Amino acid sequence: MNASVSSLNSSTPVAKNMATSSAQSGAEMQDRFLKLLVAQLNNQDPMNPMDNAQMTSQMAQINTVTGIQKMQQSIELMTGQMQASQSLHGLQMIGRDVLVNGDRLSAQASGVSRGAFELASSAEQVQLEVFNAVGQKMGSKDLGPLSSGRQDFSINSSDFSQGTHFKIKASQLGQPVQANTMAYDKVVSTANSTPAGLSFKLQNSGEVSYSQIKSVF
């Protein structure tokens, strides 16, 4: 897959235009420098000619500029390839279920709602609290003792028919344990592709960056 993507990206009009523009710019600058250098040599004072050190310094300067331009050309080509690769990957993500930071319950057609959370450490008591859209508590459920790390849960939607959000309360030996809530969602479209990364529009959570996605299903 990587080979075919690279082949596709290297032949894109944008990449070709960037490469051609950089190459022409470098060639034009080098040509102007050489013309100026020849004119300077032809018109120098015979009694006080340009010394070798000065000429070497000028040649080193033009070589440095040319090298920087070639590096910039390579970076522009790599950036174009990365953006094209991200766009292709983004298309493959559409319709996939993902897990992101959030507290929204994911309602399933089967009548089950699911969510997830991550415990910073083991907890002897973990309780799920469910709230409706206006923040009213609809009920709670004891999840029992759980180990640290990611935990998934499912609840019958009929038990909390108006429940849309949840919180996790966890404790160990009477001390609270930090719990990071996560929500299941669905990718509906790609949102943006930049050198900084790819972002997606989710069904419930809006726009999120690729780095915010914890898992893909």
Q: Domain count of the chain?
A: 2
Q: Are residues 16 and 34 in the same domain?
A: yes
* Domain range for 131: 97-216
* DSSP assigned state of 148: S
Partners of 149 in the β-ladder: 119
DSSP H helical ranges for the chain: 2-10, 13-42, 52-93
pTM over 0.85: no
Q: Are residues 124 and 62 in the same domain?
A: no
Q: Are residues 87 and 101 in the same domain?
A: no
User: Which domain CATH number covers 149?
Assistant: 2.60.40.4070
Q: Are residues 128 and 28 in the same domain?
A: no
What pLDDT digit, counting tens, does each position of 65-120 carry?
677 877 887 787 776 666 666 666 678 889 999 999 999 998 877 888 999 999 99
- Residue with the two structure tokens 């996939």: 96
φ and ψ at 177, to 5 degrees?
Answer: -115, 130
Quote the CA–CA distance of 44 and 30 in Å, as a whole number: 21
Q: Which of 98-112, 116-130, 142-156 has the lowest mean pLDDT?
A: 98-112
Q: Are residues 137 and 174 in the same domain?
A: yes
